[in-house]
Amino acid sequence: MKTRITELLGIKHPIVQGGMHFVGFAELAAAVSSAGGLGIITGLTQGTPEKLTAEIARCRTMTDKPFGVNLTFLPSVNPPDYPAFMQAIIDSGVKIVETAGNNPQRFLPALKEAGIKVIHKCTSVRHALKAESIGCDAVSVDGFECGGHPGEDDVPNFILLPRAAEELTVPFLASGGMANGRSLVAALAMGADGINMGTRFMATKEAPLHDNVKQALVNASELDTRLIMRPLRNTERVLTNAGVERLLAKERELGAKITFEDIAPEVAGVYPSVMIKGEMDAGGWSCGMVAGLIHDIPSVQELIDRTMAEATQIIRGRLEKMLDA
């Protein structure tokens, strides 16, 4: 399938694996890229610029296809050394970067000079237009359904994607609720040039996660996510568990008085406990409503192949037959 995204990124299928904390390691990124999509290593998960350099090199031993690196700019009391992380990406010869969080504008000149394509994740049309105006090559438009941070506007993809198509000139990916061939065809119909799958790639054989996490995704329905940290205007969609319900009880009890320190036990440092140790009630970890569409744990190759086969069947079979009727 040929779209503006496949042309821009030099990939076979318009499927991108989103950067996910403690998920985006070389194993998963290489598997997605080798299967014809675009794999993404999550930069901050690696811990230091030196470890990110090593992870990029490790990924290169697993695939000869293009892959990218995610770098998320978060508000923090002690922010990471972002310039050093960015330099590590540039020096490693990576040609695709996914940015998220705060405005990446200060890094764009160096990225452009290095010939790197930049995709910025956005949760609103206004943010997508800003990303376009500062020179990002593409954007990932994240609807309210998405795992992680959906923003504060609460606009689902059935509205957000067509709005993005009305306004943007750069290619864009649909993110949030993407799981299969139906998702891909729907996203293309609404104006996107491809899809960004996050949560769905977590439930694959190559995802370097504890089996408890993968099984939790298979067992979950579309009703099993919760929105946390809304009072702090840092909303995150997570899979419900005992830790999450404790956090929500605190939010109800403390109301407007709540601070991050009040909920830190349920959110700070949770990812290693969940993703590596399989401690499913440790606290909040990002998960999209798309969990309701996850019914198995295939290999990445199987997932991408059947997504493309299903999309082709829908377009050439179901939709063309409707036109011929």
Per residue in 121-169, pLDDT (tens digit) is: 999 999 999 999 999 999 999 999 999 999 999 999 999 999 999 999 9
pLDDT at position 325 is: 62
Structure tokens given for 190: 């609404």
Lowest mean pLDDT among 24-38, 76-90, 241-255: 76-90
Residue 111: what are its φ and ψ, rounded to 5°?
-65, -45
Cα–Cα nearest to 29, from 122, 118, 125, 94:
94
Cα–Cα nearest to 118, from 186, 40, 61:
40
Return the CATH number at 174.
3.20.20.70
Give 73's strand partners.
Answer: 101
Domain annotation covers residue 237: no
Domain annotation covers residue 310: no
Contacts 24+ apart (CB under 8 A), 317-325: 319/185
For the segment 43-50, the average pLDDT, to the nearest whole number, is 97
> What pTM did the predictor assign?
0.96
Domain annotation covers residue 320: no
Residues 298-323: tens digit of each pLDDT: 999 999 999 999 999 999 999 999 98
Show Cβ contacts of residue 75 under 8 Å, excluding neighbours closer than 6 positions.
101, 102
Say how many residues make up the chain. 325
Range of the domain at 40: 4-204
Percentage of the chain lying above the pLDDT 70 cut: 99
Domain annotation covers residue 107: yes
Residues 259-294: tens digit of each pLDDT: 999 999 999 999 999 999 999 999 999 999 999 999
Residue 103: what are its φ and ψ, rounded to 5°?
-55, 125
Domain annotation covers residue 247: no
On the question of pLDDT at 77 being above 80, the answer is: no
Report the distance separating Cα 209 and Cα 221, nearest Å.
20
Domain annotation covers residue 14: yes
One-letter identity of residue 127: H
294-320 b/e with 16+ CB inside 10 Å = b?
beebbebbebbeebbebbeebbeeeee
* Structural domains counted in the chain: 1
Q: What share of the chain is helix, strand, coil (3-state, %, to 5)?
A: 50, 15, 35
For the segment 103-128, the average pLDDT, to the nearest whole number, is 97
Report the distance separating Cα 289 and Cα 240, nearest Å.
11
Contacts 24+ apart (CB under 8 A), 311-314: 311/1, 311/181, 311/182, 311/184, 311/185, 312/1, 312/181, 313/181, 314/181, 314/182, 314/185
